Chain A
């Protein structure tokens, strides 16, 4: 029976059917659901590692120990894990070792759109690329077999569109693959990469690429679909689907393995068609491989280099090159479409980060940000983040600016999970090299952006085991930072007081702003909608400046100022009280005031205090 599975669910299913013993990952869109799904299967150990490099090493260790192992991450996670990926290519392993890199063409949720097929070429590791969920499952299983056959890690490269599309998948049973070793290998020539041993490994790795290329000629992962011979398309991954959609009559060479490429198969295909076209998303990886074989082809001269492909983009480009007929949609002008208000993602109502950004916005300090929900602190009206590059970058960037002698005191903000990920070594550097950076750890007790995964601060593992909490304050003090304060993120005055105290000293300091994410299920139960007292509100607009989506402009105007009064959306408000604290006229009732008022009023006037949702 076929079931609709997302690409991520199918990869998890494939790993399980392939008898995987261990899987490690750090959450990152679009890869996160692979481990969430796999962690629910029996007989597989799964963990959220502290970062992608650690996840890769954990998987390598399991594979050295003779157990099939999987590491998954988003594309930029492989930048973090690259060091481990490269040595694993040199050493190989004792059992199947598969790395999933989920790339994000179009940058739906990422800081760049790097093409990680380049990493396969770079590290001499074979790369498989599925084009739908059935292939996600099948290729994952094939990747484990390939890994063992050629003693190499295998890169399974997916893209957002395959990860997050669902297509029918035929389910299979688990193959119980017995561990290949009883004891950890004592084979230094293979596993201890001192220069003398590594030199001996390098030629083996290059020979492996040649052997894989020979295998690529015969594997059904690569195949030709002969149709009309006027146009021949070489394609892989999701681009295959667009090729079939837009150019249904064309012959296709579909590469399931995109590195190394099968030379003879490509030559045979090229010789059999009149016009050879490479259709691939992002970099001209296949195009360059084909040109290196001395075969003329077209690719990026037709299709865009930047951004995600889709049927409209491919059709338009193909039509311009005379390959297809365009079907232009009715234009925005012909439709008389109005300029529509943007609907950018915003910090949620009740987000505990809001109070901190309200403070930083008021202080007008330079803030080096980091990756997480809190990056949204850059948006107006808060506009309180001035740099954000990658996971863990903010603290180092702030330190560098401080050490270079900038005339402003630098602040770094970083979430709890990101701090454990790569913030920790950067803060050790601040402590060691002594800059006066104020690091604010936004501790919302979860990895929120990717959907509330556990981390070393939550006391729970991925597979719901209780574990110790790595407490931030003793950790930070152990680095030698003397100025450490902890404040409730909802305490606006408390945040400012602690900020002032820490900034009064010319030395490294850490402010832990702590409050659970308002969207956590147990916190939702405690939501209470606040209310505006219209008689007290003057329409001054200060509460609008905290950028809370639950605070609306009322249709009622203040009689004196003629400005709209504030209105709280009872369905959205969580009762965090940040707005009530910034209101200079006490025009927003706090939870206590609401309770008090309710005792003197008919109950029906107020939203129930016990929430319920």
Chain B
């Protein structure tokens, strides 16, 4: 898809991981870059430790549905390993999946009634989709930047690498959304994410 003019993102994770902030920033960045943008998320009960997903769509012309259809996401950004599998069917063939290298073990696993899937399975599923899998040690890089809680910004940095926008476009939106005293921390987190996203080509390039 040369000079791609529309991008669909699905961001998934576990309630409380900061997927909402990341999807807000992703939407703002798209709007500032001149795209029509829609973003959709679910509030309420799911936030009590359940699986959560937000959808973000950019289009140079017009976005209609705020939801991404199955098999239509260009980028699947997963804040947790198993959630990447749960939402794998959203990714289009040849899309990119960015996965935070972190497992949050649900009660159903800790109580012994089910089993957490292994990393090999993750790689196999996305290989079947001809997808590019980018593993990002989000918490570790956030720790290096100064605070483990900035993992969501690390992941945004990793996603930014895939898109045809200058780093400044991202940074301007993030700077508006984080408190002044955390600017430096977030800048470092974003930069670490961006440089650690692997050397692959950007989408649509």
Query: Which residue of B41, B48, B125 is within 8 Å of A336 (Cβ)?
Result: B125
Across the interface, do A29 and B106 meet the contact criterion of CB distance under 8 Å? no
Is A167 interfacial (CB 8 A cutoff)?
yes
> Could you say which of B44, B82, B113 has the most chain A C-beta atoms within 10 Å of its C-beta?
B44
From the candidates B64, B106, B114, B125, name the one contacting A242 in the complex (CB within 8 A).
Answer: B64
Smallest Cβ-Cβ distance to B122: which chain A residue: A338
In the complex with contacts A160-B42, A310-B67, A312-B69, A329-B49 CB distance below 8 A:
no
Residue of B nearest to A342 (CB): B108
Indicate if the CB atoms of B82 and A340 lie closer than 8 Å.
yes
Q: Is the CB of A312 within 8 A of B66?
A: no
A2 to B48, CA, bound (A): 33
A244 near B39 with CB under 8 A, answer no
Q: Is A381 among interface residues, defined by CB-CB distance under 8 A? A: yes
Given known pairs A334-B128, A450-B44, the reply for A549 and B85 (CB within 8 Å) is no
Residues from chain A with a CB closer than 8 A to the CB of B86 are: 340
CA distance A90 to B40 in the complex (A): 38
Type the 1/0 row for A234-251, where 1 means its CB is closer than 8 Å to any CB of B.
Answer: 000010011011000000
B31 CB to closest chain A CB (Å) equals 6
The answer, among A315, A330, A342, for a CB contact under 8 Å with B69, is A315
Say yes or no: is B182 at the interface (Cβ < 8 Å to chain A). no
Nearest Cβ on chain A to B71's Cβ, whole angstroms: 3
B110 in contact with A552 (CB, 8 Å): yes
Give the contacting residue for B66; candidates A167, A332, A338, A549; CB below 8 A: A167
The answer to whether B15 has its CB under 8 Å from any CB of chain A is yes
Contact among A164, A348, A381 with B40 in the assembled complex (CB-CB below 8 Å): A164
A29 to B44, CA, bound (A): 6
Q: Please pick, from B14, B41, B117, B128, the residue contacting A338 in the complex, using a CB distance under 8 A.
A: B117
CB neighbours of A386 from chain B (8 A): none
Give the most central of A29, A339, A340, A547: most B CB within 10 Å.
A340
Which residues of A329-377 have CB atoms within 8 Å of chain B's CB atoms? 329-330, 332, 334-348, 373, 376
Report if B36 contacts A (CB, 8 A): yes
For window 1-30 of B, CB contacts with A under 8 Å fall at: 14-15, 24, 27-28
Q: Would you call A449 an interface residue if the criterion is a C-beta within 8 Å of the partner chain's C-beta atoms? A: yes
With contact pairs A108-B42, A312-B69, A329-B71 given, residues A345 and B49 touching in the complex (Cβ less than 8 Å)? yes
Cβ-neighbour of A341 out of B72, B109, B128 (below 8 A): B109
B39 near A166 with CB under 8 A, answer yes
Complex CA distance for A330 and B41, rounded to whole angstroms: 24
Query: CB < 8 Å: which of B71, B89, B116, B117 contacts A332?
Result: B89
CB distance A345 to B68 under 8 Å?
no
Q: Does A132 contact B (CB under 8 A)?
A: yes
Other-chain residue from B50, B124, B128 in contact with A330 (beta carbon distance below 8 A): B128
Beta-carbon contact of B50 and A343 below 8 Å: yes
| B65, closest chain A residue (CB) | A245
Are the C-beta atoms of A345 and B15 separated by less than 8 Å? yes
- Judged by a CB distance under 8 angstroms, whether A328 is at the interface is yes
Pairwise interchain contact B64-A244, C-beta atoms closer than 8 A: yes
Task: Using A108-B45, A245-B64 as known contacts, say yes or no to A553 and B40 having CB atoms under 8 A apart.
Answer: no
A166–B114 CB distance below 8 A: no
Given contacts A336-B125, A340-B86, A341-B82, contact A109 B66 (CB under 8 A): no
A311 touches B88 (CB 8 A): no
A30 part of interface (Cβ distance < 8 Å) = yes
Query: Taking the nearest CB of chain A, how far is it from the CB of B86, in angstroms?
Result: 5
Number of residues from B at the complex interface, CB < 8 A? 58
CB distance from A482 to the nearest CB of B (A): 37
Q: How far is the CB of B138 from chain A (nearest CB, A)?
A: 15
Q: How far is the CA of A327 from the CA of B93 in the complex (A)?
A: 12
CB-nearest residue of chain B to A348: B48
Q: How far is the CB of B111 from chain A (nearest CB, A)?
A: 6
Q: Is B180 an interface residue (CB 8 A)?
A: no
Interchain CA distance A404-B102 in the complex, whole Å: 53
B201 at the interface (CB under 8 A from A): no
**Cβ contact within 8 Å between B38 and A132:** yes
Alpha-carbon gap, A312 to B50, bound state (A) = 23
**In chain B between 127 and 165, which residues have their CB closer than 8 angstroms to a CB of chain A?**
128-129
B107 lies within 8 A of chain A by Cβ: yes
Q: How far is the CA of A327 from the CA of B69 in the complex (A)?
A: 10
> Is B43 close to A, CB under 8 A?
yes
Partner of B115, one of A2, A168, A238, A341: A341
Residue A165 at the B interface, CB < 8 A? Answer: yes
A330, B71: Cβ atoms closer than 8 Å:
yes
Q: Which residue of B lies closest to A613 (CB)?
A: B149
Interface string of B94-111 (1 = CB under 8 A from A): 000000000001111111
A86 proximal to B (CB < 8 A) = no
- Interface assignment of A606: CB less than 8 Å from any CB of chain B: no
Give the chain B neighbours of A30 by CB distance below 8 A: 43-44
Q: Which of B28, B48, B93 contacts A373 (CB 8 A)?
A: B48
A311→B63 CA distance, assembly (Å) = 12
User: By the criterion CB–CB under 8 Å, are B114 and A329 in contact?
Assistant: no
Interface residues of A in 414-434 (CB under 8 A from B): none
| Complex Cα–Cα for A160 and B43 (A) | 9
28 A/B residue pairs, CB under 8 Å, sorted by A: A4-B27, A29-B45, A32-B43, A109-B43, A132-B38, A132-B66, A161-B67, A165-B41, A245-B65, A245-B69, A311-B67, A312-B69, A312-B70, A329-B90, A330-B89, A335-B129, A338-B85, A341-B114, A341-B115, A342-B114, A343-B49, A343-B82, A345-B50, A346-B48, A346-B107, A373-B48, A450-B44, A544-B110
Chain B residues in contact with chain A, CB under 8 A?
Answer: 14-15, 24, 27-28, 31, 36-51, 63-72, 82-83, 85-86, 88-90, 93, 105-117, 121, 124-125, 128-129
Q: A547-B107, A549-B49 are in contact. List 11 more A-B contacts (CB 8 A).
A: A4-B27, A4-B37, A32-B43, A109-B46, A168-B37, A311-B72, A335-B128, A340-B117, A345-B49, A345-B50, A347-B48
